Amino acid sequence: MSDPIQIFKPWYGEAEHEALRAPLESGWLGYGEKAREFEKRFAEYVGVKHAIALHSCTAALHLALLVSETEGHEVLTTPMTFVASNHAILMAGGQPVFCDIEEDTLNIDPADIERRITPQTRVLLVVHYGGHSCDMDALLDIAERHDLLLVEDVAQACGGSHRGRKLGSLGHIGCFSFESKKNLSTGDGGMLVTDDDAVAERVRRLRWLGISSDTWSRFNNGHEGRAWEYEVEELGYKYCMNDIAAALGLVQLEKLDRGNQLRRQLVQRYHDAFADVEGIEPLAIKEYGESACYSMVVKLEQRDGLCDFLQERNIQSAVHFRPNHLYPVYAPYRSGQLPVTEAVWQRILTLPLYPHMGEANQDRVIEGVRRFAEGQRVDFAVPQHAVGG
């Protein structure tokens, strides 16, 4: 049997191995010099004043919603995302209000958002699905007209942009994931970005248990007084990124744009290969966004059949995602119909995509999809009375 083709695969090389040497030899493995450098360079890359390194995007989302004072308020959100996006709303004491999605991009639908705004709505949480920008022109207009805070979940879209601006820099707060499968991978990790000085100051405090000054600063950064002298001003969390993850992040940031360009080339090959394949429909690419191409998602009627067909050929595939409102934990928050979401999620399948995939592996995937589609057409063409006859 051929070697397995993974659906996602981190892009690590000798530079990442070498980068780990410094923190391991320094004896300082927690939040320190590497994390601070990563924050500075990431803020410059995204084009924001503040970048705050955390141990996950879930942590970033939780803190973003806490400082947005969502407790007791409604947060308009998408069901088509990993549950972390909406768990964070509950963790912050907010009430998720699920909006329907666009059928062609699977991003949140601005028109449905308008229908669901109430006096209790405070935050609009948007997820750039698969790496492709939401319709930020419409979303920013809605947020401004209704005095809403807009939080971008950029977990799937690091390096993507909307009309030339990096995703994460358009809303009030942006939240990034550096989990193992992501475009920029530190094994696990996240970043919160903002231009709001007050938000940044509070998030820095909240990520370190509410302590007024982080440990690195108190030992290495001209802290006044003894290192153990600090204040605990409010309840916080142990959400800091460590220097091991940050060391990887610095290397990964240098190769992010190159990796994303390789992803775009592979996605274009998929689109070209499926252009004449009946029943296989890739997601749309809108002119306003340059996608980070985190995932390659297609729509088809026999989704489960294709998944099994590829698995027999040692090719991974998966569904991203089961709509969150269908999980029992979100049963209390089901209100209104989500017809597009509930129809389209049963037709989507994620195919393998990673920068170093190579054309040979991609051709195996393409051949598998084409063969399955051809077999389906043959099956449909055979009259029922002729089967077995």
Active site residue 9: no
**What's the predicted TM-score (pTM) here?**
0.94
Cβ contact 199:67 at 8 Å? yes
Q: In terms of DSSP bridges, do strands 190-194 and 50-54 run parallel, antiparallel, or are they unpaired?
A: antiparallel
In 19-160, at which residue ranges do the beta strands (DSSP E only) sit?
Answer: 50-54, 74-77, 95-98, 121-127, 149-153
Model pLDDT for residues 180-214, shown as the tens digit of each residue: 999 999 999 999 999 999 999 999 999 999 988 78
Q: Which of 9, 182, 255, 299 is catalytic?
A: 182
- Which residue has tokens 């009946």? 278
- Residue 194, helix vs strand vs coil: strand
289-293-298 Cα angle (round to 5): 105
Model pLDDT for residues 30-80, shown as the tens digit of each residue: 999 999 999 999 999 999 999 999 999 999 999 999 999 999 999 999 999
The pLDDT of residue 214: 81
Model pLDDT for residues 297-311, shown as the tens digit of each residue: 999 999 999 999 999
Q: At what angle do helices 57-67 and 83-91 cross, to 10 degrees?
A: 40
With CA atoms as reference, report the closest residue to 180 among 172, 169, 190.
190
Distance CA 356, CA 361 (A): 10
Cα–Cα distances (Å) from 174 to 118, 199, 299, 302, in that order, read: 24, 12, 29, 36
With CA atoms as reference, report the closest residue to 136 among 296, 320, 339, 286.
286
Residue 176 CB contacts under 8 Å (≥ 6 apart), including other chains? 57, 60, 154, 155, 158, 168, 184, 190, 191, 192, 193
Model pLDDT for residues 244-296, shown as the tens digit of each residue: 999 999 999 999 999 999 999 999 999 999 999 999 999 999 999 999 999 99
With CA atoms as reference, report the closest residue to 126 among 103, 102, 154.
154
Cα dihedral: 45, 48, 51, 57 (round 10): -80
- Ordered structural domains, the chain, with CATH: 14-254 (3.40.640.10), 256-376 (3.90.1150.10)
